Amino acid sequence: MDGRKVIVRIPILGKQILRQEKTVCETATMEYIRRNSSIPVPEILGKGIAPIGPYIIMPWVPGRPLCHLLFSPRDLRLDASVHAQDRQSAYREMAEITLHLSLLKFNAIGSLVNNLGNITVATRPLTFTMNELIRTHGLPLAAFPQQPYTISKAYFEHLAQIHLDHIRMQVSGIIKDETDCRSKLTARFLFLNLVRDHIWFEQPQGPFPLYCDDFRPSNVRADRETNRVTAAIDWEFAYAAPVEFTYAAPWWLMGENPSLWSTNLEAEMRFYKPRLADFLAAMREREEQLISEGVMTSAQRLSGRMSASIDNGIFWLCLAARCPGLFDAIYWDYIDQRYYGERSSHDERIQLLSAEQQDELNTLTQRKVAELTPRSRSRPPDPLPYSYVNYELIDVSLKPM
């Protein structure tokens, strides 16, 4: 032993479902970033599978989480005790990592795998939403992709379909009454139709930049004196994604995962927009620096696209696609009238659905409402198609670590 401090990371059983698959993809992502960018990522000192699960060994990284320069630990509002200069410094560090990530591009949508030193997109996109829908809502693994995607539209269709499958498959707790059920199903069918027929994707066949669902200031460590980043950690749920994900303004400016946001999105935006303005000012500064250094070109700027994403709907489209808990608030408040015009009622929107969709809406509403009766509540829930143990066993198809 050389006296170095190390960290052994083991995915928590019950919190992380596809633990071996996640670890395989995360280690490949970390190695790819280390090879192909200047983003400081910890070296992988070892990896393998122990009796308690897969593990990664990394050096201990000094510093403090960058979120300490942005958010109060108690309410996640901007911390008034932090000097404005330090806050802008934190935003610049986050902007620089974001810009470098956007330059790492692939020919498919999915997670990275290291095959004898050759790191490529070789498996399905393993996402935070996928993990949570399996873990907390019991969706079967079969509802999710089994391979990468090569077309943005196809992947967005999958995300839209998952919102429908969520209602179809979850036994209880997803609707309140018949009106709520019809509203939720109408929104999901219209969102699916929107993705299929009305959305123009900027780079529909790639290249697809690297994106991380869990990239946020709490996963970035910085030097206590200089505030410069010492390491970006936790690359779980990183995958090559449609470019729209990269162009959307970052969710982490609110300090917490969007699944925890209030459904009063107008109130959330009153906090969000000033933070976005400050972040984009820092990003423009970093863009100028990286352009002058020849790292990126003017055409690769993100600040203008992120600024526009709130008004042109890309921010809301991507957030709705990735956040089941906020889907209905986002769809009805920020998506529906943008694409389908003024509405007088939800029933009016039902007439826009195909005959097949209307039939399923009526049939599924009857079934879901029946599940709300006292008799149905006393019935034990349908068994999940796989146990957590079986989810682990599915991973054996991947190459050994």
Task: Provide the 10 A C-beta neighbour count for residue 192.
Answer: 19
List 65's β-bridge partners, or say none: 221
* Residue 144 phi, psi (nearest 5): -110, 160
% the chain with pLDDT above 70: 89
Q: How far is CA 194 from the centre of its chain?
A: 20
Number of separate helices (H) and strands (E) present in the chain: 15, 11
pTM for the structure as a whole: 0.89
Give the amino acid at 344.
Answer: S
What integer is the mean pLDDT of 143-152? 94
Task: Check pLDDT > 50 for residue 261.
Answer: yes
As a whole number of angstroms, the distance between CA 207 and CA 320 comes to 23
What are the CA-CA distances from residue 169 to residues 187, 273, 285, 323 (Å)?
17, 36, 47, 17
Tokens of 380: 């034990």
pLDDT of residue 76: 58
pLDDT of residue 393: 35
Q: Name which of 162, 160, 161, 145 is nearest 109 in CA terms.
A: 145
pLDDT of residue 127: 95
List 113's β-bridge partners, or say none: 120
Which pLDDT tens digit goes with each residue over 21-67?
A: 999 999 999 999 999 999 999 999 999 998 888 999 999 988 899 99
Q: Which residue has the tokens 């949508």?
A: 109
CA dihedral 210, 211, 217, 223 (to 10 degrees): -10
pLDDT of residue 265: 92
313-321 contacts at long range (C-beta below 8 A, 24 or more positions apart): 313/338, 314/244, 314/247, 314/248, 315/248, 315/249, 317/199, 317/244, 317/248, 318/244, 318/245, 318/248, 319/248, 319/251, 319/258, 320/191, 321/156, 321/159, 321/160
Q: What DSSP line would sit under 113-172, residue for residue?
A: EEETTEEEEEE----HHHHHHHHHH---GGGS-SS-BS-HHHHHHHHHHHHHHHHHH--S
Which pLDDT tens digit goes with each residue over 233-246?
A: 999 999 999 999 99
Which pLDDT tens digit goes with each residue over 295-309?
A: 999 999 999 999 999
As a whole number of angstroms, the distance between CA 90 and CA 60 comes to 21
What lies within 8 Å, CB to CB, of 96 at 6+ separation is 229, 286, 290
Q: For residues 153 and 201, is the Cβ–Cβ distance under 8 A?
A: yes
